[in-house]
């Protein structure tokens, strides 16, 4: 088998050892159980086979102690593995507080990534070693699935809904990205590479990388200004839309009496379908921006909304443009055409 496609990928992230330990423990338990059952079947086949053509078997009423034993032992094993598996699942699902947020978009048939600094890549992702990375992902068309075997992380990338996955690389090198969900005729070609670099090397690469632009937050701020969102979303009695400063992560009351948390999906829905969930106290005056903004731009607008609440993840090492003073706009200037105003 070629070296670049090993049967067992190397462990290159903080969660990889725990995933492998759980997997191989289940393999060992399954193999032992299968062997034990096979031996028992063979033993009973030999021990209780009919030796005479006229031999008649007799009813065995069994043993209560034996039945309790073979019920209790598997139950304890399964419950222990459930608790262990749940622990690993939570570790994989909850990014650390210091995770740096990168943006990812799946599209037939490529992966598009954006750094906090604004640097964009296609089918390549450069990251520093020993830095937790949180990918906020969405698809522009069909269901994809981002899978990095060496990191033991995989998550579906869905159209119209944000999903996240995180990893912290522990070894420098190049690691293959797969799409693990059949997404069309060129699904097998939808791949990429994660380049894990030492901190100094990453900063040097980021500084000289061509095509670098303003950070995610700065780009989102430019977009909300371009769409004139600040003409409606500001603090004051004359505002025609809710003030977004400090709104992200809170629960707001809607005009129909229900409540909703202001998260990534709600902000996205409010930009594309603003009349779906109108904030209480405001008229449904906001027009839809469906077809006017791309998925990449929606992600940038959301990053800007998050920054107004202090929810923007810290910029990556070496980045001085993604979470700087440009994100701290005046209280009257909200982030984007959002929240059903």
Domain extent, residue 160, equals 1-31+64-212
Last residue of a domain, one of 212, 240, 266: 212
339 lies in some domain: no
CATH of the domain at 162: 2.60.40.420
23's tokens? 């997997």
Rg of the chain taking only CA atoms, in angstroms: 27
> Do 14 and 162 fall within a single domain?
yes
> For every one of its 341 residues, what pLDDT tens digit does the chain have, with 9 covering 90 and above?
445 556 678 899 999 999 999 999 999 999 999 999 999 999 988 888 877 777 777 777 778 888 899 899 999 999 999 999 999 999 998 999 999 999 999 999 999 998 888 888 999 999 999 999 999 999 999 999 999 999 999 999 999 899 999 999 999 999 999 999 999 999 999 999 999 999 999 988 888 866 555 677 888 888 888 887 767 777 777 778 888 888 888 888 888 888 888 888 888 888 888 888 888 888 888 888 888 888 888 888 888 888 887 765 444 444 433 333 333 333 333 333 344 44
pLDDT tens per residue, range 154-189:
999 999 899 999 999 999 999 999 999 999 999 999
Q: What is the per-residue DSSP string for 101-144? A: EEEEEEETTEEEEE-TTS-EEESEEEEETT--EEEEEEESSS-E
- Predicted local distance difference test score (pLDDT) of residue 247: 85
Q: Three-state SS for 253?
A: strand
Residue 27 falls inside a structural domain: yes
Query: Residue 132's closest CA among 103, 165, 155?
Result: 165
Return the pLDDT at 14: 94
Are 91 and 159 a contacting pair, CB within 8 Å? no
pLDDT score of 192: 93
pLDDT of residue 124: 94
Q: Are residues 193 and 293 in the same domain?
A: no
pLDDT of the residue at 341: 47
Rounded distance, CA 279 to CA 259, Å? 9
pLDDT at res. 328 = 34
Q: Are residues 137 and 280 in the same domain?
A: no
Looking at the fold, whether 175 and 246 belong to one and the same domain comes out as no
Whether residue 162 is contained in a domain is answered as: yes
pLDDT per residue as tens digits for the range 193-220? 999 999 999 988 888 866 555 677 888 8
CA angle 178, 102, 17 (to 5 degrees): 55
Separation CA 328–CA 313 (nearest Å): 14
Q: Count of domains in the chain?
A: 2
Is the domain of 200 the same as that of 224?
Answer: no
């Amino acid at each position: 088998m070629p070296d670049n496609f090993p049967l067992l990928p190397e462990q290159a992230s903080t969660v990889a050892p725990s995933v492998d330990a759980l997997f191989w423990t289940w393999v060992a338990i399954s193999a032992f159980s299968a062997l034990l059952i096979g031996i028992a079947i063979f033993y009973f086949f030999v021990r209780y086979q009919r030796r005479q053509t006229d031999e008649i078997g007799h009813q065995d009423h069994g043993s209560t102690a034996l039945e309790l034993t073979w019920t209790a032992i598997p139950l304890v094993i399964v419950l222990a593995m459930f608790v262990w598996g749940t622990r690993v699942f939570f570790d994989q699902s909850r990014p650390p507080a210091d995770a740096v947020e990168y943006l990812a978009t799946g599209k037939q048939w490529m992966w598009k990534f954006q750094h906090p600094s604004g640097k964009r890549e296609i089918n390549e992702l450069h990251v520093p070693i020993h830095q937790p990375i949180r990918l906020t992902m969405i698809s522009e068309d069909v269901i994809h699935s981002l899978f990095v075997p060496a990191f033991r992380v995989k998550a579906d990338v869905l159209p119209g809904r944000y999903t996240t996955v995180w990893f912290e690389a522990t070894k420098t090198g190049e690691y293959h990205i797969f799409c693990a969900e059949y997404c069309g005729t060129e699904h097998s070609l939808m791949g990429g590479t994660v380049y894990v670099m030492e901190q100094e090397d990453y900063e040097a690469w980021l500084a000289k990388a061509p095509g670098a632009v303003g950070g995610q937050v700065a780009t989102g701020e430019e977009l909300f200004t371009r769409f004139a969102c600040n003409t409606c979303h500001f603090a004051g009695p004359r505002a025609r839309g809710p003030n977004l400063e400090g709104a992200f992560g809170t629960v707001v009351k809607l005009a129909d009496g229900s409540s909703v948390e202001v998260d990534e999906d709600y902000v996205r829905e409010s930009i594309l379908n603003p009349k779906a969930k109108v904030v209480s106290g405001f008229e449904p005056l906001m027009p839809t921006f469906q077809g006017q903004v791309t998925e990449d731009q929606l992600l940038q607008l959301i990053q800007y909304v998050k920054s107004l609440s202090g929810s923007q993840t810290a910029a990556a090492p070496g980045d001085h443009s993604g979470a700087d003073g440009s994100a701290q706009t005046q209280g009257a200037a909200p982030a984007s055409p959002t929240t059903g105003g």
